[in-house]
Amino acid sequence: MKNAFLHGDLEEVYMDIQPGFSSQSIVGKVCRLKKALYVVTGNDEEEVTHLKMLLAKEFEIKDLGSLRYFLGIEVVRSDKGIFISQRKYILDLLKETGVLGCRPADSPIEANHHLCSGVGDLVEKERYQGLVGRLIYLSHTHPDIAYEVGIMS
């Protein structure tokens, strides 16, 4: 969809409930959209093309082609499958925090770490929460940091 539509106020828009999400309790009902963001995807290229044509009749749209980067995740297709990476997201995070040139470590926290109630270096609460949130998001493609991020959160 055009950028102005994506970030603008959404008028009342309704869509049929997608196949596979139906049950007796929702028969004859539709979904009221609260956000104006659409990611059109599917394994039936003809059906995807048909949906795009239907959307183009109602809205001004622009086809950006195959997905390459979305919400901090890079998507690469090859003969072996689809691969996702957050390399750019990681580099941006390291640069923002001023540790871009830091030495890598096997684990960013000591083994059997215990939290203590003593006061250490004080940090800005909102900045800390924001960074932990970004690390939680990063752990979707890097489950190896999930334990450490859990401790920090």
Q: State whether 100 and 61 are in the same domain.
A: no
For 32-42, the pLDDT digits (tens) are: 877 665 577 78
**Total-model pTM:** 0.58
Whether 135 contacts 147, CB under 8 Å:
no
Averaged pLDDT, 84-96: 91
Task: Note down the domain range covering 48.
Answer: 3-65
Q: State whether 45 and 75 are in the same domain.
A: no
Beta bridge partners of 31: 15
Other C-beta atoms lying within 10 Å of the C-beta of residue 16: 9
Q: Kindly list the distances between the CA atom of residue 114 and the CA atoms of 110, 111, 128, in Å, as whole numbers in the listed order.
A: 9, 9, 19
Q: State whether 47 and 81 are in the same domain.
A: no
